[in-house]
Amino acid sequence: MESALPGQGQTTLNNGIDAAALEVDRHIQDDQRYPEIAQMLGVSAEVLPGVSGMSDIDYPLLGTGQVSLPRLLEIGPVHRVPLPPELVEQFGHMQCNCMLGIFPDISRAWLTIDTDIYIWNYNDGGDLTYFDGLSETILSVGLVKPKPGVFQAHITHLLVLTTPVDIVILGVTFSALHTEGASAPGSYVTEALSLLPEPLFCLPTDNTFFQVVEGTGTGRLFLAGQDGCLYEVAYQAEAGWFSQCCRKINHSRSALSLFIPAVLQFSFSEEDPLMQIAVDHSRHILYTRSEKGTIQVFDLGSDGQSTSRVASLSHGAIANAAVNIVRTVEKLNFSPVVHIAPIESSESAVCHLLAVTHTGVRLYFGTCSLRYPGTRPNTLILLHVRMPPGFSAAVTAPQRPARVHKALYSRGMLTTSSPFLIPLLSHSLSTFSQGDHVSLNHQSQLKSLVVWNILIRAYPMS
């Protein structure tokens, strides 16, 4: 009878464990390798801008036909978190305005009712805090990380509130919920949020309404003006000889405009409020979208510390560029743009911006020459048009997306919102069947927050 040599069994076991570990690592690496968007769309310097999504094979359905995957529910609610009872009572006292949103970075939801703001943990509905020190209705809300070295270390974030009169910046701090043990730094889910009782800064709006607040990774703070201008709130620890601790800068007006009376500027300019600010943190590029669909590109510099406007495309120019690529589709499908989303450098070297129109059309833009993709932005050029499901010859028009007004893009997955429905679209080789949409009950939305689970399928690069 043969017997194993001493230590041979342990060696075999170790080899098996090592092989299993290598296999797990290989699968993890495959999951992390997302295809290059330009490669999937056929974008290159040698090929003219193209179109996709108009063929039946562009959107095969799961569980049918050529794809043998089982029918998968690609979106569904995970759990519903009731609003804190104290907030439900406040709705009865609302007079002017109410807004609701979330701060994913700190796992908090927020609600404004007229002049007050309430913030709570959306995972369990607890840790409710509020600020009621304003006398004017809150118009916009934003949360940004501060510049390093400006404030004390315990101020981890800045809460920015704008009203018709003021821009108010509050300090946000976190502390352990339980005295018996401190939580790990940055674990905002298990920490208690506090707002400093007095504003850190307060600036006048100078009769400009601000509808969007957006920050950068370097701590800069930008505002979207109803006058169509991009503003920045520049702040520092101490005032200098020629600068204040906090001031407002208009990046859309030239120095010459300072000498033109405001009445004349208003007379010769068509109002087109800015509705969105989107920042590409990987490239230090800032984009704005106006109400009519104009897109502007601002270069923040290689270090993210400067600002210069380098390109602008009106809604008409965008539609004309798309029609030149897709001549068989009516022009009205390409305007207006209702959402923009940066495509970071980890996803694509040449596709820098995604724009979504009100009909669900996706427009992919670049900000520099395709032959020199690493240069700083100097233009805005349409590279590819991706039509939504419903534009192939075998599909009837009623199945097409319509009246899209909100969208969310993340690593190739696009979620769009239409009245009463949230359909899903993907730039990958699959689409979501008619059953994969969610009907929202607006009455229940006022009483709870819904956390959605979205199935994302990764397609390894060959």
Question: What's the pTM value of the predicted model, to 2 decimals?
Answer: 0.83
When the pLDDT of each residue in the chain is averaged and rounded to a whole number, the result is 81
pLDDT for the residue numbered 188: 81
Give the tokens for residue 154: 């315990």
Mean pLDDT of 38-53: 87
Which range has the worst mean pLDDT, 8-22, 402-416, 423-437?
Answer: 423-437
Cβ neighbours of residue 213 closer than 8 Å, sequence gap 6 or more:
140, 141, 142, 144, 160, 162, 221, 222, 223, 224
pLDDT for the residue numbered 403: 87
Q: What is the pLDDT of residues 432-447, one digit of tens each?
A: 443 344 444 444 445 6
Mean pLDDT of 251-265: 58
Residue 250 CA to residue 68 CA, distance in Å, equals: 55
User: Band of the pLDDT at 184, cuts 50, 70, 90?
Assistant: very low
Which range has the worst mean pLDDT, 14-23, 125-134, 214-223, 412-421?
Answer: 412-421
User: Band of the pLDDT at 176, cuts 50, 70, 90?
Assistant: confident
pLDDT for the residue numbered 54: 87
pLDDT for the residue numbered 316: 96
Q: What is the pLDDT of residues 354-365, one digit of tens each?
A: 999 999 999 999
More confident residue, 8 or 53: 53
Q: What is the pLDDT of residues 270-328, one digit of tens each?
A: 789 999 999 999 999 999 999 999 999 999 999 999 999 999 999 999 999 999 999 99
pLDDT for the residue numbered 394: 66
Identify which of 93-107, 215-229, 239-253 has the greatest average pLDDT: 215-229
Q: What is the pLDDT of residues 86-125, one digit of tens each?
A: 888 887 778 888 999 999 999 999 999 999 999 999 988 9
User: Band of the pLDDT at 17, cuts 50, 70, 90?
Assistant: confident
From residue 356, alpha-carbon distances to 253, 295, 388, 432, 461 in Å are: 27, 12, 10, 18, 26
From residue 72, alpha-carbon distances to 60, 317, 435, 456 in Å are: 14, 40, 11, 11
pLDDT tops 50 at residue 372:
yes
More confident residue, 78 or 460: 78
pLDDT for the residue numbered 423: 53
User: Band of the pLDDT at 190, cuts 50, 70, 90?
Assistant: confident
pLDDT for the residue numbered 63: 43
Residue 114 CA to residue 94 CA, distance in Å, equals: 6
pLDDT for the residue numbered 214: 98
Mean pLDDT of 393-421: 77
Three-state DSSP string of the chain: CCCCCCCHHHHHHHHHHHHHHHHHHHHHHHHHCCCCHHHHHCCCCCCCCEEECCCHHHCCECCCCCCCCCCCCCEEEEEEEECCHHHHHHHHHCCCCEEEEEEHHHCEEEEEECCEEEEEECCCCCCCEEECCCCCCCCEEEEECCCCCCCCCCCCEEEEEECCCEEEEEEEEEEECCCCCCCCCCCHHHEEEEECCCCCEEEECCCCCEEEEEECCCCCEEEEECCCCEEEEEECCCCCCCCCCEEEEECCCCHHHHHCCHHHHHHHCCCCCEEEEEEECCCCEEEEEECCCCEEEEECCCCCCCCEEEEEECHHHHHHHHHHHCCCCCHHHHCCEEEEEECCCCCCCCCCEEEEECCCCEEEEECCCCCCCCCCCCCCEEEEEECCCCCCCCCCHHHCCCCCCEEEEECCEEEEEECCECCEEECCCCECCCCCCCECCHHHHCCEEEEEEECCCCCCCC
pLDDT tops 80 at residue 448:
no
pLDDT tops 70 at residue 460:
no
pLDDT tops 80 at residue 140:
yes
Mean pLDDT of 35-50: 85
User: Band of the pLDDT at 452, cuts 50, 70, 90?
Assistant: low
Percent pLDDT > 70 in the chain is 74
More confident residue, 403 or 254: 403
Q: What is the pLDDT of residues 57-78, one digit of tens each?
A: 777 654 444 444 455 556 666 6
Backbone angles phi, psi at 287, to 5 degrees: -120, 145
From residue 229, alpha-carbon distances to 128, 143, 257, 283, 316 in Å are: 35, 20, 13, 22, 19
Please choose, from the candidates 283, 131, 249, the residue with its C-alpha nearest in 3D space to the C-alpha of residue 197. 131
pLDDT for the residue numbered 29: 72
pLDDT for the residue numbered 397: 56
pLDDT tops 50 at residue 427:
no
Residue type, 289: R
Give the tokens for residue 63: 């569980």
pLDDT for the residue numbered 314: 97
The separation between CA 332 and the C-alpha centre of its own chain, rounded to angstroms, equals 25
pLDDT for the residue numbered 6: 58
